[in-house]
A and B are shown apart, each in its own frame.
Chain A
Amino acid sequence: DIVMTQSPSSLSVSAGEKVTMTCKSSQSLLNSGNQKNYLAWYQQKLGQPPKLLIYEASTRESGVPDRFTGSGSGTDFILTISSVQAEDLAVYYCQNDHSYPYTFGGGTKLEIK
């Protein structure tokens, strides 16, 4: 199984700051046939199910603010929030959807100072 490791486990920032969080996979998530990385990022707010933010490592889901950016390839991925807003308070999860079994990282909890 592909192991997904996220860091840091939590971070606390002030509104307006830039945030980066990382996700590493134990195997490459790159499909050599189409050069797509099958890595997704989800945002989960308290009491809600996860919400898809980014798919294929860098494509923003419809309606997601452009302050959220996904990057990376192979085994190393980054989620960047360019200017954190109060409503970004949540846990962020990465997920392998390259191969079964689909696996998730342990999450990064974002707190707003």
Chain B
Amino acid sequence: EVQLVESGGGLVKPGGSLKLSCAVSGFTFSSYAMSWVRQTPEKRLEWVAIIIGGGTYTYYPDNVKGRFTISRDNAKKTLYLQMSSLRSEDTAMYHCARHGSLYYSMDYWGQGTSVTVSS
């Protein structure tokens, strides 16, 4: 059974940092592209990062580029999101998601970990 379990969320002050983790099981982690997607309190979905293959290729939207870093440890079957210079607008539920092996869409999602940026 495919499972993705996020952790590391919490309350952080503006300008602070946080590192999220996503532990996976039930599939060959190294063979799949992985993304982080967040859902704002208004329920808007925003894609924030993707890592492809062994980690050579990563992409970000402009609003997090330079502040967020996605990485993976294939041996530990864990995906990470290092977030720095956090802003109030980064407040959201953060989900990790797996991309399909034969298509780009995200076929499995974790339940998410909540991040609140507030003073």
Interface of A is mostly: loop
Known: A49-B112, A106-B44. A55 touches B104 (CB 8 A): yes
How many Å lie between the Cα of A38 and that of B105 in the bound state?
8
Q: Count A-B pairs with CB separation below 8 Å.
A: 59
Of the residues A1, A49, A55, A101, contact of B105 by C-beta under 8 Å? A55
Residue of B nearest to A97 (CB): B104
Q: Is B62 part of the contact surface with A, judged by Cβ < 8 Å?
A: yes
A101/B47 in contact, CB under 8 A: yes
How many Å lie between the Cα of A93 and that of B61 in the bound state?
19
Q: For residues 66 through 119 of chain B, which have their beta carbon under 8 Å from a beta carbon of chain A? A: 95, 97, 100, 103-107, 109-112
B residues contacting A by CB (< 8 A) are: 35, 37, 43-47, 50, 59-62, 95, 97, 100, 103-107, 109-112
Q: List 25 A-B contacts (CB under 8 A).
A: A40-B104, A40-B105, A40-B106, A49-B97, A49-B110, A50-B37, A52-B105, A52-B106, A55-B100, A55-B103, A55-B104, A55-B105, A56-B103, A59-B103, A93-B45, A95-B47, A95-B105, A97-B104, A101-B62, A102-B47, A103-B47, A104-B44, A104-B45, A106-B44, A107-B45
A residues contacting B by CB (< 8 A) are: 1, 38, 40, 48-52, 55-56, 59, 61, 91, 93, 95, 97, 100-104, 106-107
Query: What 18 new A-B contacts, CB under 8 Å, besides A56-B105, A107-B44?
Result: A40-B104, A48-B111, A49-B112, A52-B100, A55-B100, A55-B103, A56-B103, A93-B45, A95-B45, A97-B104, A97-B105, A100-B59, A100-B61, A101-B62, A104-B44, A104-B47, A106-B44, A107-B45
